[in-house]
Structure 1
């Protein structure tokens, strides 16, 4: 199994993932009735703290808006706002000092017709960005595990 397919399989087996805060103009956090996952010790530092997360998110958003499978979902999205929101979300989830103030995932994605194919494409793009930023596979998995609980609120089209 390739690195990318292994990562996608891991994420799907975790019960899903973020599928696209990127599909929304505002990125969303876990719903109010979902407990926020606890960041593993040291993940924020392993991701390079705020500067490393900012580089990752810049790379990720630049890739995702150009991806032929899902880039169309971003035609009305302002990349700078998306980058800022995702940076705060990833920073907070990984145990950093940031505070994410975006919408909850369920309401942000309610009318977006996001399916598993979109989800898998987004995961692959995020994995490519993490690889390009030199984030070790184990740390990639730790971040994805934090994002996994959001999946059920993001996929809206079955």
Structure 2
């Protein structure tokens, strides 16, 4: 009887170990986009090209007149990094609060997206990777664009 009990316990613990390992694998954060963007350093390079484009784009520059460039760049880098599955944490305002009362339309939102695409192209980000980042950012349209 004791032999069967030991076999049962061994089987039980083996099953628990397999289940725990499988669950840990499932819970592991997908950082493939973060890796494909060149990690934090690559994302920071994209942002370093992106922010000046925003500040100079006649379609949208009026929305960035009060922006502190370095602080804004840091927030964007952290936001993109976090969205891409990286270890960064965005600690800025939520998108509703950050854009409240700005009366941003779809045309302005699309202008920002175009500038981001150009910044990624300038940094040789493959279009498949760029599209994955844009897909992560797309849900932000709702809290940013005024109705």
Tell me the TM-score range normalised by the shorter chain: 0.7 to 0.9
Q: Which runs of 4+ in 1 moved over 6 A?
A: none
Match for 2:120 among 120, 124, 130?
130
Q: How many residues align?
A: 119
Largest Rg, 1 or 2 = 2
Number of the residue aligned with 2:34: 44
User: Which structure's residues are more often helix, by fraction?
Assistant: 2
Number of the residue aligned with 1:102: 92
CA deviation after TM superposition for structure 1 residue 72, in Å = 1.6
Cα offsets for 1:16-60 (capped at 9, x unmatched): xxxxxxxxxxxxxxxxxxxxxxx8551101000010000000100
Q: TM-score, normalised by structure 2?
A: 0.78
Contact 1:40–1:142 (CA under 8 A) maintained in structure 2: no
Q: TM-score, normalised by structure 1?
A: 0.72
Cα offsets for 1:50-96 (capped at 9, x unmatched): 10000000100011101111112111111101100000000011011
Number of the residue aligned with 1:91: 81
Cα distance in structure 1, aligned partners of 2:133 and 2:112:
14
- In the alignment, structure 2 segments of 5+ residues that lack a partner are 1-28
CA deviation after TM superposition for structure 1 residue 149, in Å = 1.1
Aligned CA RMSD, in angstroms, stands at 1.2
CA deviation after TM superposition for structure 1 residue 150, in Å = 1.2
Contact 2:31–2:86 (CA under 8 A) maintained in structure 1: no
Question: Higher relative contact order at CA 8 Å, sep ≥6: structure 1 or structure 2?
Answer: 1
